[in-house]
Amino acid sequence: MSRNEWWRGGVVYQVYPRSYHSSKAGPVGDLKGITEKIPYIAGLGVDAIWLSPFFKSPQKDYGYDVSDYRDVDAQFGTLDDFRTLLEKAHKLNLKIIVDLVMSHTSEEHAWFKESRQDKTNPKADWYVWADPKPDGSPPNNWLSVFGGSAWQFNMFRGQYYLHNFLPEQPDLNYHNPEVVDAMLGEAKFWLDFGVDGFRLDAVNFCTHDKLLRDNPPRTEEGNATQLSFKDVYSMQWHKYDKSQPENLNFMRRIRKLLDQYPHRMAVAEIGDDYQTQVAAAYTATPDLLSTAYSFALMANKGTMPKASFFRETLEAQGAEPGDSWPAWAFSNHDVIRAPSRWSGTEYGHDARMSKMLIALVGALRGTPFIYQGEELGLPEADIPFDKICDPWGKYLYPKWKGRDGCRTPMPWDEKTPDGWLPVPDEHRRLSVAVQDGQKGSTLEMTREFLHWRRTQPALITGDIKFADSGTEDVLLFTRSLDGVEISCAFNLTASQIKAGTLDLKPFEARFSAKNAILFTSAKA
């Protein structure tokens, strides 16, 4: 693979800064704390670190509401702290990807403070403003992901502004060329600083329908969500409020900027009714983004998905026009941790499944993303109502407790204290110190697999071909490159499974390269 395409098949490890490690032993993690743990991350065998937002922010959505793109929020440290982190990562051959939130800002951003004053100021058209209907109601039926109308009335202007997420997160107006140029300038600042790329948060939300047409009612088409109930957002087909065709022109501008710097990349986060199709469209040609991942493999709450779920998702994206390179994740800071989401219980998990999932996401064709704690097999944490911080969780409680259960502090040892969120005792029992050097632990298996994977080009950039195992409980495929073929078999159940000549133990991941089995993950 070209050195300029290190991301193609490279493993990316997501760090949620406020929950990773505090250099001050405080309740919130910081950049110095992450720097202290970079040797641990490098030892996993990953290629890059994705840092969730650490920019200046009032923290209404915990950093995804940015008030200054060019400064570090004081709770995380300083620009010099980030520079030190970047330098240490690079010395250990780790790339750093920063989370750039481009579709919206914080209401505390200087741009919005100016924009909301009146209809004639220099930033008046930098956000999406619209007049009320004659009866005073919102301009159309668009809904916020977090519930309720996507429109908030502002008394100064006598208009509504669009917010696809919280009211404190007003949407930028990308139909205004000045906004496009300004946001590219924010990206350029970090490229000049030395970062290796961007994870582009909710980037398909950047452009809206200029006519503000109503979204049609939702049919049964489209992708499922992680929620086990129907919320109002899922009752619409989101035809006009996001994923507009002209947004691809903005993606081309991003790519043109990236190409001015060697070895840089951008991965899009796609949340859409038709996730695999949109993810493929955003990466279909060399003038678009490097790769994209969606929530397609981060949904289906309940029992472990069947083989067809994985096969059909990958084949669907692969069948889209163009030459898209995909990225895949089973967990991140927005979804219930996969070992619990697919265990059939709200907060349970099976250590065998945790190991198998690490191997599976690393064996699929694409760029694997691993969320902090996945290498430990952490289950979802049960957060009591009085400890819930996530505004989405507060809104949906008790139907759903939101995203705090996957955001709890990383357990480094059995004495890891509670932080901004409580640390479950079960997480402490699965801590890094407990698993480190423990043969058969999820942590050691993760290290073994990822280091071995680096020696197998077929698993990094090779083709994938699925096979019929004769049962939906076993996923079979081969990865091949330059005449080398690796056969992969995954038992997706907690039972012994026989499929043809295979006899697989519960949640077993088996690889055969040159007729040699690398490992099995059958032991808890």
**Any idea which residues carry the catalytic annotation?**
201, 269
**Displacement of CA 85 from its chain's centroid (Å):** 21
State the Cα–Cα distance between residues 509 and 109, nearest whole angstrom. 48
Q: Which structure tokens are listed for 55?
A: 């920019």
User: What ranges make up the beta strands (E) of 191-262?
Assistant: 197-201
Answer for the pair 130, 162: CB distance below 8 angstroms, yes or no.
Answer: yes
Q: Please give the backbone phi and psi of residue 275, each rounded to the nearest 5 degrees, phi first.
A: -70, -45
Token pair 């910081």: residue: 30
Q: How many CB atoms lie within 10 A of CB 133?
A: 11
133 three-class SS: coil
Handedness of CA 314, 320, 325, 329 (dihedral sign): negative
Is 80 exposed, middle or buried, given 0-12, 13-18 or 19+ CB atoms closer than 10 A?
A: exposed
401 three-class SS: coil
DSSP H stretches of helix in 152-246: 177-193
Q: Which structure tokens are listed for 297?
A: 């493999």
Peptide bond into 321 cis (omega under 30): no
Torsion of CA 67, 70, 76, 81, to 10 degrees: -170
Q: How far is CA 284 from CA 136, 290, 325, 460, in A?
A: 42, 9, 8, 19
CB neighbour list of residue 251: distance below 8 Å, 6 or more residues apart? 203, 268, 282, 288, 289
Q: What angle do CA 73, 77, 81 make, to 5 degrees?
A: 125
Q: How many CB atoms lie within 10 A of CB 45?
A: 19
Token pair 């071909």: residue: 465
Q: Please give the backbone phi and psi of residue 251, each rounded to the nearest 5 degrees, phi first.
A: -60, -35
Return the HEC string of 26-74. CCCCCHHHHHHHHHHHHHHCCCEEEECCCEECCCCCCCCCCCEEEEECC
State the Cα–Cα distance between residues 246 and 180, nearest whole angstrom. 12
The strand pairing partners of 236, in sequence order, are 217
Q: How many CB atoms lie within 10 A of CB 245?
A: 8
H or E, element range at 6: none
Q: How far is CA 124 from CA 119, 157, 160, in A?
A: 5, 10, 13
CB neighbour list of residue 497: distance below 8 Å, 6 or more residues apart? 471, 473, 474, 491, 503, 504
